[in-house]
Amino acid sequence: MMNGRGKTILRWLAAVFVAAVLLAALAVAWIWRNPLAVYEWTTRQELRQAGLERTEVELAGGRLVVWHGGEGPELVLLHGAGDQAGAWSKVVPGLIDDYRLLVVDLPGHGESDPATGPLPFSTLAAGVGELLDRREAGQPVTLVGHSMGAWLAIVYAHRHPERVARVVAVNGGPIRGEPSGINLLPADREEARRTMAALRDPSSPALPDFVLDDMVRRTASGPLGRLMQDLDDMERHLLDGRLGELAVPVDLVWGESDRHLPVEYARRLASELERVRLTTVPRCGHLPANECPERFLEILRRILAAGPPTSRGEP
């Protein structure tokens, strides 16, 4: 027969077991409700595991978080609207041995300031500009930007061509797009489903409902929603009809299945640029570094090794 001490130990073990089960259930429930936060945390850990170090830089507009590491020619990676530095986590391991990487949380994104309030495009441009202006004197930098990051990269290169060796613009640029009917601030799950279907290749797995629900909850109040509060400021940074002024060579890398900024948008960019090369990514949409990272990395490495384009329409 069990004595009193044994019964006490059993009760204690039972209580610990129940507490562990409750904590696990709460963790699962939190993850289920916050999958995008889990994605951000996971991808940022992948940046660290790949060998990047997190640094905070104090700029005029507040703290800017930058991940850096690697050796070789410098590449600055600029993510798209509403994303964060971890967007590049799947391609960083394939670049860090040959390049010095600077992977930025754009202002108002990730862990960079400002954390709240309207987020004019000019705030992002000023933050990127100040960061790049602080670089130690040396060789001009290569800017690799996705979507809005591509827009920012070309705007900076247009203003400071002497500081930029080349730009790689991935599914983005600084000219107006044709109306696509795609709502980047979806109001409900079904609208979010249609948005993500338009951004991805039909063969890619559909996102589960709990991820779409989190997208609806977060997007309007997140960086993308804050950016959309000042469309006039965004308009002032467009370069329609002025891309011929850009002296810096540009590689356009485009997911062919993108219905938000389709390949025709890339061709319009290429028609205005003097030194440009367009490379498309089959079976991939608006987010090549996330949707098809292996194929995107192969193309990016090939482009960087080949050197910048020297004329319009170079294959």
Please write the tens of the pLDDT for every residue from 111-129.
Answer: 999 999 999 999 999 999 9
- The 10s digit of each residue's pLDDT in 143-152 is 999 999 999 9
Residue 312 falls inside a structural domain: no
> What count of other Cβ atoms lies within 10 Å of the Cβ of residue 245?
12
Q: How confident is the model at residue 286 (pLDDT cuts 50, 70, 90)?
A: very high
pLDDT of residue 313: 56
Residue 14 falls inside a structural domain: no
pLDDT of residue 6: 57
Q: Which residues on neighbouring strands pair with residue 214, listed in sequence order?
A: none
Tell me the mean pLDDT in the region 267-271: 97
Q: How confident is the model at residue 14 (pLDDT cuts 50, 70, 90)?
A: very low
Q: How confident is the model at residue 139 (pLDDT cuts 50, 70, 90)?
A: confident
Our count of domains for the chain comes to: 1
Residue 152 falls inside a structural domain: yes
pLDDT of residue 311: 73
Q: How confident is the model at residue 181 (pLDDT cuts 50, 70, 90)?
A: confident
Q: For residue 23, is pLDDT > 50? A: no
Residue 248 falls inside a structural domain: yes
Kindly state the DSSP code that residue 245 receives in the 8-state scheme. G
Q: For residue 3, is pLDDT > 80? A: no
pLDDT of residue 179: 85
Q: Which of 8-17, 86-95, 292-301 has the lowest mean pLDDT?
A: 8-17
Residue 138 lies in domain: 34-306
Q: Which residues on neighbouring strands pair with residue 100, listed in sequence order?
A: 74
> What count of other Cβ atoms lies within 10 Å of the Cβ of residue 55?
12
Greater confidence (31 vs 119) lies with 119
Residue 4 falls inside a structural domain: no
pLDDT of residue 34: 76
- The 10s digit of each residue's pLDDT in 50-79 is 999 999 999 999 999 999 999 999 999 999
Residue 99 falls inside a structural domain: yes
Residue 15 falls inside a structural domain: no
Q: The domain that contains 230 carries what CATH number?
A: 3.40.50.1820
Q: How confident is the model at residue 2 (pLDDT cuts 50, 70, 90)?
A: low
pLDDT of residue 16: 43
- The 10s digit of each residue's pLDDT in 300-313 is 999 999 999 987 65
Q: How confident is the model at residue 223 (pLDDT cuts 50, 70, 90)?
A: very high
pLDDT of residue 18: 42
Residues 6+ apart with CB under 8 A from 148: 80, 81, 106, 124, 172, 227
Give the chain's mean pLDDT: 90
To 5 degrees, how large is the angle CA 267–CA 300–CA 50? 140
Residues 6+ apart with CB under 8 A from 7: none
Q: How confident is the model at residue 1 (pLDDT cuts 50, 70, 90)?
A: low
Q: Which of 6-15, 30-39, 53-62, 230-239 has the lowest mean pLDDT?
A: 6-15
Distance set, CA 97 to CA 52, 69, 100, 161 (Å): 11, 9, 8, 27
pLDDT of residue 134: 85
CB 134 within 8 A of CB 60: no
Residue 151 falls inside a structural domain: yes
Q: For residue 8, is pLDDT > 80? A: no
